[in-house]
Structure 1
Amino acid sequence: MTTSFEEIVIERFTEVHVEGVTALYNEPTVCRQVLQMPYQPNDIWRSRLSGCDERRVQLVAVHKGKVIGNIGLDQYSRIRQSHVGSIYMGVALAWHGKGVGSQLMGAVLEIADNWMNLHRVELTVYSDNNAAKSLYQKFGFEVEGTLRKYAVRDGVFVDALAMARLR
């Protein structure tokens, strides 16, 4: 599949994207790499829209009307940590390695740096997700530590890495 970046549009996650985002995170390969439960209903993602404020940025990557990726950035609400944000992201399997993650990460970090004035952005990634780790490192994230037995995946405990980018 050859696709130009002009065909992929980054948009604010809204009600029109709920079914697409639900489908994205219900995709078994995506669900396996994030902390979402499988078979989630649309209402789970719809409820995440209701809590939107200026400290939360939720974006989607859309190709020909279909959601192919999602990224979220939450600024910490504690006053002494208001310079910190946390990221989560998912990209449809068919779009892995095609620059969608880079577009989403670039868009959300531009907001983090130039609109929210965040000095620290952090995330977690499963320690065996080499493609995601490479993407994050490309954007300046560094491993800060290993979170042992961080989550259950496929019936076993798996480790995750704590990564952060300072500016």
Structure 2
Amino acid sequence: MLELLHIRRAEIQDAKALTALFEQPAVHRHMLQQPYPIATVWQDFLQPSLLRHVLVAECDSQVVGEIMLDGYTNPARKHVASIAMAVHTDFQGQGVGSRLMTSALDLADNWLNLQRLELQVFCRNEPAIALYKKHGFEIEGTLRRHAFRAGQFLDAYWMARVR
């Protein structure tokens, strides 16, 4: 299956597919986004930007994953970007996340000259934490009662990769 996986830049016409990806309960429960995403929000999000870089993983013309590097406008933090990703429920555990991360790190290191990548991940999301550690991210701290999700407050780890 992975040999059929294609990583590319997201385009505005991917908004509908990304909306469907984030509608999945097993996806949005691990994100800071609310359920019931709106396609027009994704259309706005995918507008060309010098600071935001969104990649998608595609298999048989279906978007099965997404990763985003979001830079900062503050000149003191221009060497930093936050990172967030999601993988379609049916494709989790098959290397899609690792391929997306490898592509995003190549973009960050070799094209954008980013020195620090940051992310937040819920402490209970062990598969994601393992993926991030595999790609050089380290836990820098715990954000207690970080977000309200599915009726409860959850802690999150602040993780970063510095080169």
Bin the TM-score by the shorter chain.
over 0.9
Q: Shift of the alpha carbon at 1:16?
A: 2.3
- Residue in structure 2 matched with residue 64 of structure 1 by the alignment: 60
Q: What secondary structure is seen at the aligned counterpart in 1 of 2:46?
A: helix
Q: Structure 1 residue 62: deviation in Å?
A: 0.7
Which residue does the alignment assign to 1:49?
46
Distance 2:53 2:26 in 1: 24
Aligned to 1:99: 95
- SS, match of residue 59 in structure 1: strand
Deviation at 1:6, TM superposition (A): 2.4
| Structure 1 unmatched runs, 5+ | none
**Equivalent residues in 2 for 1:117-136 (5 A)?**
117-136=113-132
CA RMSD between the two structures: 0.9
Cα offset, 1:15, TM superposition: 2.0
Q: Distance in 2 between matches of 1:123 and 1:16?
A: 26
Deviation per CA, 1:28-60: give whole Å up to 9, x if none.
Answer: 10010001111112111111022x312211011
TM-score normalised by L of structure 2? 0.97
Number of residue equivalences: 163
Unpaired runs of 5+ in structure 2? none
Return the letter of the residue paired with 2:118.
Answer: E
The correspondence of residues 1-167 of structure 1 with structure 2, limited to 5 A, is 3=1, 5-50=2-47, 52-167=48-163
Deviations 1:48-105 (A, max 9, x none): 022x312211011011111110010012121111111110100011111100000100
TM-score when normalising by structure 1: 0.95
Provide the rounded CA distance (Å) in 2 between the counterparts of 1:140 and 1:113: 13
List structure 1 segments (4+ residues) > 3 angstroms apart after TM superposition: none
